[in-house]
Structure 1
Amino acid sequence: MPPFARTAVRLDDDDDDHLSVHDFQRIASLIGKEVGIKLPPTKRLMVEGRLRKRIRVLGLSSFDRYGDLLFRSDGGLEAELPFLINAVTTNKTDFFREPEHFECMEKVLVPKLLEARRSERKPLLKVWSAASSTGAEAYSIAMLLADMVAQQRDFRFAVLGTDISSDVLDQGRRAVYPADQVVPVPPAMHSRYIMHARRPGLRPEVRIVPELRRLVRFERLNLMDAAYPFDKDVDIIFLRNVLIYFEKQDQAAVVTRLVNHLRPGGYLLLGHSESMIGTSVTMRQVAPAVFQRV
């Protein structure tokens, strides 16, 4: 047994045990290098809070022992890195978040994409949620497209969700959510695409219907990778509220790589607090935070 595996204590009850400034700085540097996410000093208590549960799972006695595992033991960092990434990455997501983007997609983007491919019989539209978290965005996209297919029946679609965190990808594949999380789903879509348990418990949960789950695929992807192993004829890419966590040079590199996966005329959607400023990619803005590859 390695020297850092000692009897666990309840760290949440120990006000004297904290993540040292030195170990936080090393973790912040590591996360920045591996996944591009900025962890300024103001995030130290947040990181500390998220790591407490992980330390208990490992049976470690203190944050210092966790630092030993990461930085002062052979092979510890390699084995622990995926769990560290899962613990410190932020996974804020909602169904139909920033709803004006979904309205734009329905009324402008999809009709224009279909018009450009009118010579094809039932073209396949590909939409990529590039920081999908637990899948709320990917399933929101799928609900909207499924409704459009039901009305028009002249195209097919596939949705890809990617994220760095294996934990949230697993939840996306299960497609099980707290009932209160699906409140933003429009009532008509709710009745078609969401299943409720016959005997809801104290914390009611719902699940996306299997017909929709089959059209959404989840894969792990680090946006900091030099290349992405996915199709290069994607019609729409959602990259919303992600770039704000990256350094400027990393923002530009990620946008450039993603745009290279868009078909000519395809669209990139960013968060409303983000922009294309500082990138060398030639895009045409068609709506707030919506850009078209030219």
Structure 2
Amino acid sequence: MTDRFDGFDRLRDGYDVVVLGGGAAGLNGALMLARARRSVAVIDSGAPRNAPAAGVHGLLAREGMPPGELLERGRAEVRGYGGHVVSGEVTGAVRDDDGLFTVELADGGSVRARRLLVTTGLVDELPDVSGLRERFGRDVVHCPYCHGWEIRDRAIGVLGSGPLSVHQALLFRQWSDDVTFFAHTLPALTDEQAEELAARDVRVVDGEVAALEITDDRLTGVRLADGTVVAREAVATAPRMVARAGFLKALGLVPVEHQSGAGEYVPADPTGRTEVPGVWAAGNVTDLSAQVGSAAAAGAAAGAQINADLITEETRAAVTARREGR
């Protein structure tokens, strides 16, 4: 397998743990496991969710660091403890008769592991508005805690796109006095929602949004279907968030609808343990709201739990062997 990342890792026959996904959650989980002297491999497709962003925010001591640099440092740290980080796309995973997992790759290869840590993140499904995808991560944003400071005091438009859109408009009002809510294709506001927006001086514009207006590579307005243009310097929208987890279907692990209506996720308990024995999940694949810091923390916690689970299994085997005089 060709490794696009720095270093010369190659997958070998089997590992204690294979981590599926090389973002903050996956790399921090792998770091914990490698430091626990576990054999671990991270398989990463190289398509991080935050790739369009200029910097990572809200992460202590790494504020504003480019996402690519953060990942590069993480890979180096995992490798420094003997972990492998390789480029590859996971297409499936099955459990063998001997209880081991086989992870199948797009290039035809495969790798076996005693445990899996799923950290493949999610896909942001954006509304079908011309220009929205091209500007996403720049002057089209979704998270006020990730991007609010960068667009503070600007003319912000919030595109109604889901059940959390009104809440999103109220959040962005914290960063700017000039916030306009575009109802777009949402149902009519409830009386309570309308009252809340009015109380916070958030203007409401009815009518479907057709496109963003871009001038000299800058967002300058929001154009409605009737041709009306409302001047805006940034747009916030709440994408539908869908876990990257189709490859887990053969294991009986499929994403479910989040109670918020914001998307689909892979359920896991607070330790990251899923309903499938031997499979853990961490980061956005199981927590739609996780930022880089919380995703990394969840990965570390899951890594520790996996190591403890392996120790329990190994101790049980050692006790059995001792009793049998082996």
TM-score by length of 2: 0.19
TM-score between both structures, scaled by the size of structure 1: 0.21
Which structure is richer in relative contact order (CA contacts within 8 A, separation 6 or more)? 2
**Greater strand percent: which structure?**
2
When you count helix as a share of all residues, which structure comes out higher? Answer: 1
Larger Rg: 2
